[in-house]
C-alpha cells in the first residue's frame, strides 16, 4: 500500500470468467487506480485476476486473508451485478452478506455498487440484508425495481447506470456479421433453439454468424448445439464460436456487429451501446426491462410462433437512433470516489 493512499476491497462474482462481471470489475478497478486507490479483489481465481488487472487479489473462501485485507482497507465495494438475491443460491446470498458484515464490524465504509437487489425470498436472508444495508455508507442500484425495494426497506439508495455503459474500445468497424449470444437455461428447449437457428439461417444467410460464449462453463455447450442447428438449417452458413477470450476482445468484437440476438443482459447492453440492432431473448426480468427501455424486440423462451415477427422488427430497427439513446449513459464514478476519500 503506497504512502497515504486509500485502499478498497472489492467483493463480487469475480474470477468465474463471466463476461458481465469481469467487465464491471474492469471499470471499477480502472476508476479506482486512476484516483490512486489501492485495490484488493476477492476472486475465485486470484492469480488470474491479479495478473489481468495488476491488483492484489485473495481467494473467495480465504476468510482470514479477506478479514486481514479489510482490516487495513478504507472501504468495501460490494458489487456490481445481482449479488443480494436468493434465486440463484441462498448460500451465495449469505456469503456476500457475510463479507458486508465483516466490513461493518471492522468499522469500514461499505459501498453497494450498482447492484440489482432481490428478490430475496428467504425471510432470514431478507431481514439480514435489510439490517446490514442500513449500515452501509452509500447504496447504489442499477434498476427501478431494486430502488423501489430499497425504499420499501427504508434504505436510502441511488439509481445509477450500469457500469458496463462506461467501457470503451477503439472505433468500431461495422462488418457483415450477426452475433448470437446464448447461455444454458432450464426453459431453453431444443425446439426453441432449432426454431431460432432456422430464423437466423433464413434472414441472415449472406452474413457471418458469430456465436458468443460469455461464460464457458454455462454457455459453451449450448453455443456448440446452436451451431449444429444452424448447419442443419443451412450447411453453407459461415459460423464461428467466440469463447475463452478476454473482456476487451469481446467488447471489440460485439462493437463490430451489424445485428445481435442475445440472452445475457450485458450482451444486449453492449450491443446497444455500439448501435448494433439487437433482439433480446428474455430468461430474466432484467433482460425484459432493458428491451422495454430501448423498444427492441424481445422473445421469451416459449415464443416460437412469434419469432418471424421479432426478426422482421429486428431488421427494421434504427441503429443510429439506438446509439444516440445510449450516448449519455456513462457511469458517474464521482460520488463513489467522494465517499471513499472523505
Query: CATH topology of 7-160 equal to that of 177-326?
Result: yes
Angle at the Cα of 86 from the Cα atoms of 81 and 92, rounded to 5 degrees: 70
Q: Tell me the per-residue pLDDT of 68-113, one tens digit each, with 9 for 90 and over.
A: 999 999 999 999 888 999 988 899 999 999 999 999 999 999 999 9
Order of all β-strands in the sheet with 158-159: 56-59, 38-43, 7-11, 75-81, 109-115, 138-141, 158-159
Q: Which CATH superfamily groups domain 7-160? A: Glycogen Phosphorylase B; (3.40.50.2000)
Q: What is the pLDDT of residue 87?
A: 86
Q: Locate 245 and state its grid cell.
A: 477470450
Q: Locate 277 and state its grid cell.
A: 440492432
R_g of the chain computed on alpha carbons:
21
Query: Quick check: 330 and 161 in contact, CB under 8 A?
Result: yes
- Rounded-to-integer distance, Cα 23 and Cα 167, Å: 8
Q: What is the pLDDT of residue 126?
A: 96
Query: Quick check: 77 and 11 in contact, CB under 8 A?
Result: yes
Q: What is the pLDDT of residue 23?
A: 94
Q: What is the pLDDT of residue 1?
A: 47
Rounded to two decimals, the pTM is 0.88
Q: State the first-to-last Cα distance of the chain, in angstroms, to the nearest integer.
A: 18
Q: What is the pLDDT of residue 286?
A: 83
- Rounded-to-integer distance, Cα 192 and Cα 159, Å: 35
Q: What is the pLDDT of residue 4?
A: 66
Give the single-character DSSP code of 59: E
Torsion of CA 96, 98, 103, 106, to 10 degrees: -170
- Rounded-to-integer distance, Cα 88 and Cα 84, Å: 10
Low-confidence ranges of the chain (pLDDT < 70): 1-4
Contacts of 310 (CB under 8 A, 6+ apart): 279, 297, 298, 299, 303
Place of cell 449500515: 135
Q: Please, what's the largest Cα pairwise distance for the chain?
A: 63
Contacts of 152 (CB under 8 A, 6+ apart): none
Q: Locate 173 and state its grid cell.
A: 468497424
80 cis-preceded (ω within 30 degrees of 0) = yes
What are the extents of the domains in the chain?
Answer: 7-160, 177-326
CATH for 177-326 is: 3.40.50.2000
Place of cell 437457428: 197
Estimate the share of the chain in helix, then strand, then coil, as percent rounded to the nearest 5: 45, 20, 35
Amino acid at each position: 500500500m503506497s504512502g497515504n493512499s486509500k485502499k478498497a476491497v472489492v467483493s463480487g462474482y469475480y474470477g468465474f470468467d463471466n463476461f458481465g462481471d469481469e467487465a464491471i470489475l474492469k471499470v471499477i478497478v480502472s476508476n479506482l487506480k486512476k484516483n490512486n486507490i489501492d485495490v484488493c479483489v476477492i476472486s475465485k481465481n486470484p492469480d488470474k485476476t491479479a495478473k489481468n488487472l495488476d491488483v492484489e487479489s485473495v481467494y473467495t473462501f480465504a476468510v482470514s486473508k479477506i478479514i486481514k485485507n479489510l482490516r487495513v482497507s478504507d472501504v468495501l465495494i460490494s458489487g456490481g451485478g445481482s449479488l443480494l438475491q436468493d434465486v440463484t443460491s441462498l448460500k451465495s446470498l449469505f456469503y456476500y452478506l457475510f463479507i458486508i458484515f465483516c466490513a461493518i464490524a471492522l468499522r469500514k465504509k461499505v459501498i453497494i455498487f450498482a447492484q440489482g437487489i432481490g428478490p430475496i425470498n428467504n425471510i432470514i436472508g431478507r431481514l439480514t440484508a435489510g439490517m446490514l444495508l442500513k449500515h452501509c455508507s452509500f447504496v447504489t442500484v442499477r434498476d427501478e425495481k431494486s430502488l423501489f425495494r430499497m425504499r420499501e426497506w427504508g434504505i436510502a439508495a441511488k439509481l445509477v447506470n450500469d457500469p458496463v455503459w462506461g467501457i470503451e474500445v477503439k472505433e468500431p468497424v461495422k462488418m457483415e456479421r450477426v452475433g448470437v449470444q446464448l447461455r444454458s437455461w432450464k426453459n431453453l428447449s431444443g425446439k426453441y433453439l432449432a426454431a431460432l437457428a432456422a430464423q437466423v439461417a433464413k434472414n441472415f444467410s449472406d452474413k457471418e454468424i458469430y456465436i458468443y460464449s460469455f461464460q464457458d462453463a454455462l454457455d459453451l455447450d449450448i453455443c456448440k448445439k446452436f451451431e449444429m442447428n444452424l448447419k442443419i438449417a443451412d450447411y453453407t452458413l459461415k459460423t464461428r464460436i467466440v469463447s475463452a477470450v478476454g473482456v476487451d476482445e469481446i467488447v471489440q468484437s460485439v462493437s463490430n456487429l451489424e445485428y445481435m440476438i442475445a440472452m445475457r443482459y450485458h450482451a444486449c447492453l453492449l450491443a446497444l451501446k455500439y448501435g448494433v440492432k439487437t433482439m433480446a431473448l428474455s430468461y430474466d426480468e432484467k433482460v425484459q426491462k432493458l428491451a422495454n427501455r430501448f423498444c427492441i424486440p424481445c422473445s421469451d423462451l416459449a415464443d416460437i410462433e412469434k419469432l418471424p415477427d421479432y426478426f422482421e422488427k429486428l431488421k427494421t430497427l434504427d441503429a443510429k437512433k439506438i446509439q444516440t439513446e445510449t450516448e449519455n449513459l456513462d457511469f458517474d464514478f464521482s460520488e463513489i470516489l467522494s465517499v471513499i476519500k472523505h
